[in-house]
Amino acid sequence: MLKKVTFRNSVFLIFLLIFSSGCSNIGFVDDAVRVVEGKFGIEVFVTGGSATGGFLVTLGAFTANCNGQTGVAKADCICQDEANNRQFTGTYRAWLSTSGVDAICNIQGRREAACSAKASMGPFVMRTQNGMRILANDYSELSSVGMRIPLDPLASMAKIWTGSTAAGRTTTINCSNWTNGTTGSQGTVGDKWKNGAAFTDTGAVLGCDQQGSLLCMRQVE
């Protein structure tokens, strides 16, 4: 087993120790290592920063490294930039919907709407202080009942801009396609403190002048 693992940084070592201690609900060390190496599952994280609902046209929103990008491509750039900073492997894209893009399509590398999505896609997983946890076993579970655990119950800011249902389809409430950060516009938000479908749609909207994070997922290969 040890011959198969290259510890490029301390994250790998900590990660392996957590899994070998039995604290995770993914039961196999092989799969744990594959998640870290970007070869297993759809890894999910929430950005550490936040911005108003007009972030796709706001300079320096989330990261200045993505200035010059437009549309969902900018959101994807934001996710990739933070994934790189966290030393995560793979391509990361935003769980974000607009009038022309569904979130579930975007995480499959397709900036379009009404794409197909396999029920078996997954599992959706997340790194926590207690190890890698399963959020949803597959897309069938994610789209029907949402996530098993909150994304970040200890976060100081709960809201996530998504514009998306649990199935990753647009709600059409999206701060004018995430270009309007004023009080006169609204966006669908998820909540890091809640499980179920509320991870992406709390059932209430947020004024676009308010702050929200982004939800990022490793692109489905």
Q: Quick one: which of 97, 94, 122 has its CA closest to 112?
A: 97
Q: Tell whether 94 is covered by a domain.
A: yes
Q: What is the pLDDT of residue 5?
A: 38
Q: Tell whether 60 is covered by a domain.
A: yes
DSSP letter for 156, please.
Answer: S
pTM confidence score? 0.85
Q: What is the pLDDT of residue 25?
A: 53
Give how many domains the chain has, as a whole number: 1
Q: What is the pLDDT of residue 4?
A: 39
Q: What is the pLDDT of residue 12?
A: 42
Domain region containing 109 = 40-120+152-218
**Does the pLDDT of residue 188 top 70, yes or no?**
yes
Per-residue pLDDT tens digits for 105-130: 999 999 999 999 999 999 999 998 88
Per-residue pLDDT tens digits for 130-166: 889 999 999 999 999 999 999 998 888 899 999 999 9
Backbone Cα Rg of the chain:
17
What CATH number should be reported for the domain holding residue 162?
Answer: 3.10.100.10
